[in-house]
Amino acid sequence: MARQQILRAFKFTLAPSLAQESELRRYAGASRWAFNHALAAKVAAHELWRSKVAALVETGVEEAAARRQIKVAVPTKPTVHKAWIAARGDSRTGEDGACPWWHEVNTYCFQSAFLDADAAWKNWLAWVQGGRTGRRVGYPVFKKRGRSRDSFRIHHNVTKPGIRLTSHRRLRIPKLGEIRLHDSGKRLARLIGRGDAVVQSVTVLRGGLRWYASVLCKVTVELPERPTRRQAAAGLVGVDLGVTHLMALSQPVDFGAGPVELVDNPRHLLAISRRLHRAQQALSRTQPGSGRREKAKQRVAHLHNKVAVRRAGFLHTLTKRLATGFHTVAVEDLNVTGMTSSARGTVKRPGRQVRQKAGLNRAILDAAFGEIRRQLAYKTSWYGAKLVVIDRWFPSSKTCSACGKQNPRMTLADRVFTCSCGLVLNRDMNAARNIAIQALPIPALGRGTVASDRGET
């Protein structure tokens, strides 16, 4: 065992009083204002750069050369913070300014929002310049009340902690006071008491009708350097993700109700779709700005939050069992963005079966393939296991797991894999076994590649 420090978040459901909930909304509004203030400074600098480039192009300079020649500094958090202090004003002395009410809110609420604006701008710039892969990152947009999620983040001085658990049921946040918890903070309190956890910050956010607090801590843990005997005996498991069955496994796994090789997809969104449809219909019939519209919006948000909570709990149960039960977990490198792209096409070349593809996209996103891989990535590193990611172009569904022969004519409609060698097996289970075979070291099989080492994402 090697003792290491990792960042770990402990999420609690809050039970604030009416007065405290009003303060939480005020803090969320202040964070939203600070983000927009910092983003406005960046957009202004960007517009100035674009106008200078356009003026230089009009003189006959090529656009590419003009872009390289013109330099305009985009203000970052230190610059924005310094300018904000000079122009914020103070309602206590009657001094007018950008936000004279700043003293009513914890100053870290503003500073965290300034950092978030920096991150949004940096992510967009990295995507434009080709330094960021994955889903497209759009131009940063301003946050609007009622459209963006209510949230804020507060830091503190770790040597004089202001964010702390005063009891197992109460969390103290600077300037907000003690807020009651629905959950028990006993586990975190014991870590802090032993000196194994130091609170870094707290992020408060609203999901539906509830408020949550995510306490980020620097935790000292003992990470195993090798798998346990039980993990080594279980060996390797291949996982094929799908919509009909959420997981197909290369060997039976007990998730609490007996060993299974096929894990049914709970379809959390579909299970609540009727209630959600009625709530959205009721919302569409209300008048903008009315009190009933606000209640209808809260009802829709509550249902969406319920789906998210159920999905997260279910996935955490599955991924922890896989990470703690095997020394190697193998999955495919799925292109979820491409799988869930729209089939609408263009005006000249319209797509086909658009509604059916939209339903498939909804089912794939409800299954949360990306979240499953994300959880497996960090949990395998916590529990001494290894995550192997197989190349996305490997034909796991069209290859016989017994003899290795491929059937390129197999379509998505074929749910049973049949081979000339005599193998007749469920298509997904065959794919899971192929993923497990492909994850084996090359000398042991003579084909296949190990796609990643421990903890690769």
Active-site residue list = 240, 332, 428
With CA atoms as reference, report the closest residue to 51 among 67, 75, 68. 67
74 phi and psi angles, rounded to 5 deg: -90, 120
Residue 178, helix vs strand vs coil: strand
Distance CA 301, CA 206 (A): 10
Question: Which residues, other chains included, contact 454 with Cβ-Cβ below 8 Å and sequence gap of 6+?
Answer: 380, 381, 385, 386, 387
With CA atoms as reference, report the closest residue to 20 among 149, 160, 156, 171. 171
With CA atoms as reference, report the closest residue to 171 among 186, 193, 153. 186
For 3, half-sphere exposure in the C-beta direction (CA atoms, 13 angstrom radius) is 5
With CA atoms as reference, report the closest residue to 165 among 144, 190, 130. 190
SS3 labels along 94-138: CECCCCCCHHHCCHHHHHHHHHHHHHHHHHHHHHHCCCCCCCCCC
Yes or no: say if 112 and 153 are a contact pair by the CB < 8 Å rule: yes
